[in-house]
Structure 1
């Protein structure tokens, strides 16, 4: 009998733990904010004194008499370096394998944005609108919450500034390196406009930003990241690059995939490095059904973008094609292959060997009676020094009718 009572009490405790209520702070007239930590860390003898960029973000901080932060209206702790891919859904929420967060809100359980003009803003957090104070602190790379750290570990301020957010607007904030030589840090707040544009459901959109630090592309190679996965971005890219798009037919054997008729080396526009301009860049587009042989339900095509210095033709540039694996391009050429889920064994394939691999811009998911069905998306590629980041946003469609 006593054993049954113990089991009953234990069951009640489990039930109570499973029904724990999450308390949210109501925000009147919020803005919507997403934060990325674009700082990178290169471990070498030349950079041995550099700080690992683990951060804590505090909005409208509470500071005590000793000048130490003791709280804040919004806290984004354990803000780690961002992932190369930010998918069209909050993929990090509920992931308890690590406290470290590749973006804000990311893993944070907070109030998020609504569906706005058909776009799901659940990857953006609600924050106060108007003028707010925002601070970023360097924090130790451990699992101790920021406010529980020793006093001496809570004094290292990276940024302390004021920003002005308009209620109902969508913002993306980047913490990044401004100057590669002086290691000056800063931030860039971009007000997005994708939710205000008249966009077609049968067209895929993408824009580009070069947020690289001043002096990076000219710096000596041994000061830069030397990861083989960076491919032709090892050198970075020059301040002005032409963008070309090629659409390829199939991902089944990508190294042998033919270009779609009319979509080989299509000039899109020019990418200019600019850390002083927070305006949203122009969106380029291509049709979801560029492959005329598809059934308009699913397409297997993928995308390749080539960034080439003005004066070099995309089709005949000396860093592409038969010169496979030539990755130190001195900033004159870089390539991005967007296919599958971004994890591709390219082996010795010539065409892919010099291109960095990111996920396909098209989303294939089970929808209604179709498994899968292909949907178009809105995308952003941001280049920061030798790193490339892809953010994908998808429309929120009504539930399928079976």
Structure 2
């Protein structure tokens, strides 16, 4: 009986092999690319004439004699507004509730990056290195693939540019509104360097960018209500073009700060559209000296203050009246989402900057990460990159 089962299994596997074909592709000299749609405004009465920022990315498009795009070497379709959190793993693969893709590659079934110098690049797509023509087209908010749309619906080209991606380099591309008044849009390609730096695995790293549109924070409050909800805290009104950042580390669910980490000056961020990588700033993974140095749990609070304003000068209480870009607050805590019931009035709540996960014999074990926080028109976004860790042992 056992022999018969083995024969049947072998026959089944042979049948499957005979009926299916797997095509493997290889990119000989790849670059690694991740793309975000940062066009985060909503359409409401005050801006009803703007087009909904639902995009298709085309790399090396094929254009006919009438200027109509008929194909592309690489297509990133249904590119919707990005999520607040971009975790250190491909979080959208296999999602089928909607075709909308919060990033590229995201849901796309493409070759992804390897583990490079210990960093997991599986959220980056491989594309051929070299010079590429890149288009972003505005498309209808439906589930019809771009090249199946009517001709007249494939003609709205928002950005058409040529960019060079070097072999084995890691890139993050952003599409955002450059000027809040004129509604000019732009694309920014940033060549990352975290995989080249001598970073310690006992420190948590974070850098900051302000890619907000020129004129956003100065605009009337009524024009900005659509950009962010009350969940964005006072950040929804925007911050000034030059802000100092102060950091506090505290016990979870309390205002009790860790010794030595109460409103420490941490960094400065200026609004800029430079493609240069901002410097990384760090703090110890085990800043809580009472931890067992295997796992730890604390909240990170960043206070963004106009230069000349110190934390001691903050008007504690309701910051909702501040529409002059003087203050911004980010609270980071939890694995993948902010957890806890601490009342942080006016604070934009984001996931934590360290990862607690089952690794080896430890459940949980805490790992340091490399993080990027981007401030864009009344919102803030967190992208986390992590080194590989040992698989769980059960």
Distance 1:119 1:226, change over 3 A: closer
Shift of 1:326: 2.9
- For 1:150 and 1:60, the matched residues in 2 are separated by 21
Map of 1:7 onto structure 2: none
Contact 1:24 1:111 in 2 (8 A): no
Q: Which shows bigger deviation, 219-228 or 100-109?
A: 219-228
Change (3 A) 1:240 1:330: same
Q: Which residue of 356, 366, 373 maps to 1:364?
A: 356
| Residue number among 322, 333, 337 corresponding to 1:328 in the alignment | 322
- Say if 2:359 and 2:389, in contact at 8 Å, map to a contact too: no
String of CA shifts for 1:302-358, please: whole Å, max 9, x gaps: 10001000110123222xx3x1353534200100000124344647x2xx1111000
The Cα offsets for residues 272-309 of structure 1, whole Å up to 9 and x where unpaired, read as: 1001x111000000001101100001111110001000
| 1:280 corresponds to | 277
Please tell me whether the aligned partners of residues 327 and 354 of structure 1 are also in contact (alpha carbons under 8 angstroms): no
Match of 2:347 in 1: 355
Distance 2:21 2:217 in 1: 50
- Give the counterpart of 1:338 among 332, 345, 350: 332
Moved more, 122-131 or 217-226: 217-226
> Do the aligned partners of residues 97 and 23 (structure 1) sit closer, same or farther apart at CA in structure 2, a change above 3 Å counting?
farther
Q: CA RMSD in A?
A: 1.9
The equivalent position to 1:305 in structure 2, one of 284, 302, 315, is 302
2:57 maps to 57
TM-score by length of 1: 0.90
Cα distance 1:226–1:288, how it changes in 2: closer, same or farther (>3 A)? closer
Q: Which residue of 2 aligns with 1:248?
A: 250
Indicate if the aligned counterparts of 1:248 and 1:303 stay in contact, CA closer than 8 A: yes
Q: In the alignment, which residue of structure 2 is the partner of 1:193?
A: 193
**1:146 and 1:205 mapped to 2: Cα distance?**
39
SS in 1 for 2:312: coil
- Is the CA contact (8 Å cut-off) linking 1:31 and 1:168 kept in structure 2? yes
Question: Which region of structure 1 is more displaced relative to structure 2, 40-49 or 233-242?
Answer: 40-49
Q: Deviations over 1:130-179 (max 9, x none)?
A: 11111110000100000000000000001111001110000000000010
1:182 and 1:353, CA in 2 relative to 1: closer, same or farther beyond 3 A?
A: same
Q: Is the 8 A contact 1:30 1:167 kept in 2?
A: yes
CA change 1:59–1:22 in 2 (3 A) is farther
The answer to whether the aligner puts 1:207 opposite 2:207 as a matched pair is yes
Task: Measure the CA separation in 2 of the matches of 1:283 and 1:396.
Answer: 20
Name the TM-score, length of structure 2 as normaliser. 0.92
1:24–1:306 Cα change, 3 Å: farther
Give the corresponding residue for 2:374: 382
Q: Match for 2:262 among 264, 271, 280?
A: 264
Question: Per-residue deviation at 1:183?
Answer: 0.2
Partner residue, 1:119: 119
In 1, the alpha carbon distance for the partners of 2:136 and 2:20 equals 31
Structure 1: gaps spanning 5 or more residues: 1-11
Alignment partners' CA distance in 2, 1:399 and 1:345: 28
What secondary structure sits across from 2:190 in the alignment? Answer: strand
CA distance in 2, matches of 1:357, 1:310: 23
Q: Give the 3 Å change call, closer, same or farther, for CA 343–127 of structure 1 in structure 2.
A: same
Alignment gaps of 5+ in structure 2: 1-11
Shift of residue 211, structure 1, vs aligned partner = 0.3
8 Å Cα contact 2:240-2:306 kept in structure 1: yes
2:90 is equivalent to residue 85 of structure 1: no
Distance 1:29 1:401, change over 3 A: same
| C-alpha distance 228-21 of structure 1, shift in aligned 2 (>3 A) | farther
Q: Partners of 2:194 and 2:177 in 1: how far apart? A: 26
Q: In 1, are the aligned partners of 2:338 and 2:352 still within 8 Å (CA)?
A: no
CA distance 1:23–1:155, shift in 2 (3 Å): farther
Residue equivalent to 2:235 = 233
> Number of matched residues?
377
Aligned to 1:315: 312
CA distance in 2, matches of 1:118, 1:175: 28
**Following the alignment from structure 1 to structure 2, what is the Cα–Cα distance between the partners of residues 20 and 388?**
45
CA distance in 1, matches of 2:29, 2:177: 32
